[in-house]
Amino acid sequence: MVDEAITDIERQLPELPTRLSAEEFRRHPSIVGAIPDAAISEAVERVLRNRDGAPYRVAELLYAMAIHGRNDNRPGWPGALAVLNWLQARHPGVQPSQQRGQVADQHWPRLAVPHRMDWRPEKVMKRDERTPDFEIRQLRKGVHAALWGRQDADAKALMIAHLVLSDIRGQRIVQSTQISASVLAHLRRVDDVGYLRWATIVKKIRGIREFADEAADLIHAPSPRLLVTQNWRRWARA
């Protein structure tokens, strides 16, 4: 697939704007041009789209969420509606199913102001029954990966780590599945794209219809939102 994408890009080179700036020429005299990153991502998406089979559809979704899901310094997808619109443009025959029953209003507690949580679990029980030490940095790193390229990713990851610690408070040994479920619940309150990235892995989504249902549920039955305040931004920078 990489070779196909390279061939596709090479075919487009005569039409691509590959000029370097004067400063770039000065710093890199041996380079004659630069390929726009958008041309690379579009070629990869085309290669994935031309493959048959559910695994390629999920791979295409994950790749698209990594590229179009960035909105930290570019106009990427703002939320679930943009994701669902992209999905239905790519696959017009896919329509999300209706949820059964009605979703009642849910009152969530407000998130406290930032403060250091001195308590930590001691161990994490993995699915293979290993029990490594609990590492708060590892938790934040995992959440940050789901939020990569999203606006206020550092502050959001810190907020979610804070909420997860509140959920598992007082437990000396916690299961990794507890942590994953808690992260999933709180990502849903903070960032749609981060939630969909995490849900695709944790819920083992294997097809675009399942993914469409997940995105539609965010639109029709959203969780109450948590806003990133300046205090959380300052604490994340510190």
**pLDDT per residue rounded down to tens, the chain (238 residues):** 999 999 999 998 888 887 788 888 888 888 877 888 889 999 999 999 999 888 888 899 999 999 999 998 888 999 999 999 999 998 888 889 887 776 666 666 566 566 666 778 899 999 888 999 999 889 999 999 999 999 999 999 999 998 898 888 889 999 999 999 999 999 999 999 999 999 999 999 988 899 999 999 999 988 888 888 888 888 888 7
> Which residues fall within 8 angstroms of residue 102, CB to CB, at 6 or more apart?
none
**Cα-based distances in Å from 117 to 138, 150, 179, 198, 213:** 16, 25, 16, 24, 36
Distance of alpha carbon 208 from alpha carbon 57, whole angstroms? 7
Phi, psi (deg, nearest 5) at residue 175: -85, 145
pLDDT score at 103: 66
Nearest to 143 by CA among 195, 67, 73: 195
Instruction: Give me the pLDDT at residue 26, please.
Output: 86
